[in-house]
Amino acid sequence: MFRLAMAAILVVEDEMLIRLHVADTLRDFGFDVVEAGDGRSAIEQLRRGKPVDAVFTDVSLPGETDGFAIARWVRKNLPGVPVILTSGEVTDAHAQKVSRDVPFFAKPCDYAQVAAFIRGLLEKKPAV
């Protein structure tokens, strides 16, 4: 099983107050949190080798790299790293059509539930 102590989560959210709230909540649940305010900076952090165990990203982000693009990049370049999408603008049905195997939380969501969901995903990961 995956060791959860200090599991690193990349939170990608352009709304600073939401990002801070999500990051603080995940830290309260024992995660190490890395933050990015847009898709380009998130992928740059990952390209530079920033180790993460999961990515929690908003779908709607400024610039050309949205949450779906991040999910595709992670799937191609970091297989095995789960991506969880969130949005207040995209419905669950739309997210499932675009990305059937990527979990989705509609905003507003309970970030304690998100933390529990991520913990559950990581507990299922085999130890490396």
Whether residue 120 is contained in a domain is answered as yes
The answer as to whether 72 is a domain residue is yes
pLDDT digits 0-9 by tens, 42-83: 999 999 988 999 999 999 999 999 998 999 999 999 999 999
Can you give the pTM of this predicted structure? 0.88
Whichever domain contains 93, its CATH number is 3.40.50.2300
Which structural domain, as residue segments, surrounds residue 26?
8-124
Q: What are the two backbone dihedrals, phi and then psi, of residue 24, each rounded to the nearest 5 degrees?
A: -60, -40
At 8-34, the pLDDT tens digits run: 999 999 999 999 999 999 999 999 999
Q: Is 38 helix (H, G, I), strand (E, B) or coil?
A: coil
User: ω into residue 82 within 30 of 0, thus cis?
Assistant: no
Q: Which residues contact 125 (CB under 8 A, 6 or more apart)?
A: 1, 2, 53, 80
Burial of 89-110, coded b for 16+ CB within 10 Å and e otherwise, reads: ebeeeebeebbeebbbbeeeee
